[in-house]
A and B are shown apart, each in its own frame.
Chain A
């Protein structure tokens, strides 16, 4: 069922069992999981079914610290969320990502990779990927020409990826709109979360829109699924009852903002071209990854390297320099290759196997309490303070970026394949600074991080906000650490795990059985 809240009567009170705020990858995954259940699900979407620049402006905000993308264009605010323009790259986190590492401050999830495993399978289905298989051996049987570099497997392994840029808003619109128990409200922007008198549970969410309508949603359970920056923003802005915001008793909300580095760090020159179909394919491919043992030995963060043909990419500017427009449609254009020379070189690299590559490193950022989202003094059109993002990096980040290229370089040399050259910004091992064009993956994580300890995290292991009995957060904001891969597959898996937890809590599982 779909209701356009632009036409709703003022002061309407909508009631349901579960209220999901946000219809992006996380919110839609949960809503779909509740389709055809006896529970009434209220799904709130700030935008409509199409892009609207006025609504997109609600994402605006300020940034400081390390240069970052314009906040307004780094997320999409309409049905389907940022899956409306994502690249669809998926791979699960590794077991080490969930563990506490003594050299990574604030690391260690309260759940293990094994606990998330069943939900990865479900997430694979939601994102319409291939089989839930991310082992090279499986894919070598499926695609015979996948030929890995003969590297020491105790140091380097091949991390597999699947790609499907599913537009969830288009694919799942009919299922949601025709659902009997899911009530989708578009043009419904959450502006305030109100707790009960004892501040132990959420009582209602107040909403507003550009048509001037104001209305409320009451439910038994509330799930924030607006993205890591917006989830933190709405919690911080809900400060009428608690001056520091809801769920923020210990000043953790908004802290530990993390991104993924996506940076060209080094050159790989092979002595002769290596016949491999593994690193340059479209939908199934591998990246060179550092084993858990090698990470621990070198005390570095988790990261991988993808191979980019040197002649194609050496002139491509970092996205941090080109993605500068507030309009995400225009910003997206900057990623598209317009040069005929680039297109020619890319085609050439498919026909004549290249022997020189750039190693494009994808790496987690160390959790850092000073890398954080706070509120701006400026307010949006609906009266909510904008987000202020201070993106801050650490020496461990820089050292790990350098070390990953070094490790790959040494292994390439040991295997007699070639040599690696670090780019200039990594050549001085005593330099912990980052260049201004340090690239990130548009991956917002960590602002409502998961921890069993309310002093160290916003949500518990079931994604429930500490101290509030019925408020949950879905999405990559709950990541304690970011791992190397893009977050969507994991955030969908984590959302489905939260959904499963709620089913157990409400008793739906028993009812369905």
Chain B
């Protein structure tokens, strides 16, 4: 009996660990690209991104709302649904057009900063 209990517990543990890893690893895939500042995730921690997002909402209180942020991000893209590469291209266009904000010292595109703001609400 003891051996059986041990094996069941071990199997449960393995399943739990795999589920946690799976959920962590793939969670980005389940998040709407609109709320995923993919480039910034390469160089900033999630906490830093949340902090930037919160600060953006503080600096632009009229955008301190999930639906408004979604709407603005979708408006910018012109059509939906959109992919992460579409956003990356749009962010580059933002920089070329001078649509830039400085939040917490980070020099960001407006689109990137809005993504952070939405990320900070959703995540």
Interface flags, B90-115, vs A, CB<8A=1, else 0: 01100110001010111111000000
With a cutoff of 8 Å between Cβ atoms, the chain A residues found around residue B44 in the complex are: 269
- Stretch of B18-26, B35-43, B60-68 contacting A (4+ beta carbons < 8 Å): B35-43
| Contact present for B102 and A406 (CB under 8 Å) | yes
With a cutoff of 8 Å between Cβ atoms, the chain A residues found around residue B39 in the complex are: 271, 419
Residue B107 contacts which of A355, A356, A410, A416 (CB distance < 8 angstroms)? A410
With a cutoff of 8 Å between Cβ atoms, the chain B residues found around residue A414 in the complex are: 92, 95-96
Number of interface residues of B (CB under 8 A): 17
With a cutoff of 8 Å between Cβ atoms, the chain B residues found around residue A422 in the complex are: 102, 105-107
* Complex CA distance for A418 and B104, rounded to whole angstroms: 16
A300 interfacial by beta-carbon distance below 8 Å: no
| Contact present for A271 and B43 (CB under 8 Å) | yes
Interface flags, A260-280, vs B, CB<8A=1, else 0: 000000100111100000000
With a cutoff of 8 Å between Cβ atoms, the chain B residues found around residue A413 in the complex are: 91-92, 95, 107, 109
Separation in Å of the B52 CB from the closest CB of chain A? 10
A57 interfacial by beta-carbon distance below 8 Å: no
A3 interfacial by beta-carbon distance below 8 Å: no
Residue of A nearest to B48 (CB): A421
B39, B44, B91, B105: which has the most chain A beta carbons within 10 Å? B105
Known contacts A418-B43, A421-B106, A426-B105; A410 and B92 CB within 8 A of each other: no
A427 interfacial by beta-carbon distance below 8 Å: yes
| Contact present for A427 and B104 (CB under 8 Å) | yes
Separation in Å of the B95 CB from the closest CB of chain A? 5
With a cutoff of 8 Å between Cβ atoms, the chain A residues found around residue B95 in the complex are: 410, 413-414
Interface flags, A386-418, vs B, CB<8A=1, else 0: 000000000000000000011001100110101
| Contact present for B43 and A420 (CB under 8 Å) | no
Contact residues of B between 39 and 62, Cβ < 8 Å to A: 39-40, 42-44
| Contact present for A410 and B100 (CB under 8 Å) | yes
A270, A272, A419, A426: which has the most chain B beta carbons within 10 Å? A419
With a cutoff of 8 Å between Cβ atoms, the chain A residues found around residue B92 in the complex are: 413-414, 416
Separation in Å of the A357 CB from the closest CB of chain B? 12
| Contact present for B107 and A271 (CB under 8 Å) | no
Residue A424 contacts which of B91, B96, B100, B105 (CB distance < 8 angstroms)? B105
| Contact present for A420 and B107 (CB under 8 Å) | yes
Residue A423 contacts which of B43, B105, B107 (CB distance < 8 angstroms)? B105
Separation in Å of the B86 CB from the closest CB of chain A? 15
With a cutoff of 8 Å between Cβ atoms, the chain B residues found around residue A416 in the complex are: 92
* Complex CA distance for A509 and B96, rounded to whole angstroms: 56
| Contact present for A409 and B42 (CB under 8 Å) | no
B39, B43, B104: which has the most chain A beta carbons within 10 Å? B43
With a cutoff of 8 Å between Cβ atoms, the chain A residues found around residue B102 in the complex are: 406, 422, 427
Separation in Å of the A33 CB from the closest CB of chain B? 48
* Complex CA distance for A414 and B42, rounded to whole angstroms: 17
With a cutoff of 8 Å between Cβ atoms, the chain B residues found around residue A271 in the complex are: 39, 42-43
* Complex CA distance for A414 and B104, rounded to whole angstroms: 20
| Contact present for B96 and A419 (CB under 8 Å) | no
With a cutoff of 8 Å between Cβ atoms, the chain B residues found around residue A410 in the complex are: 95, 100, 107
With a cutoff of 8 Å between Cβ atoms, the chain A residues found around residue B108 in the complex are: 419
A residues apposed to B, CB below 8 Å = 266, 269-272, 355-356, 405-406, 409-410, 413-414, 416, 418-424, 426-427
- Can you list 11 A-B contacts (CB < 8 A)? A355-B43, A410-B107, A413-B91, A413-B107, A413-B109, A419-B39, A419-B40, A421-B105, A422-B106, A426-B105, A427-B102
Other A-B pairs beyond A414-B96, A422-B102, 16, CB < 8 Å = A269-B44, A271-B39, A406-B107, A409-B107, A410-B100, A414-B95, A416-B92, A418-B43, A419-B106, A419-B107, A419-B108, A420-B107, A421-B105, A422-B106, A427-B104, A427-B105
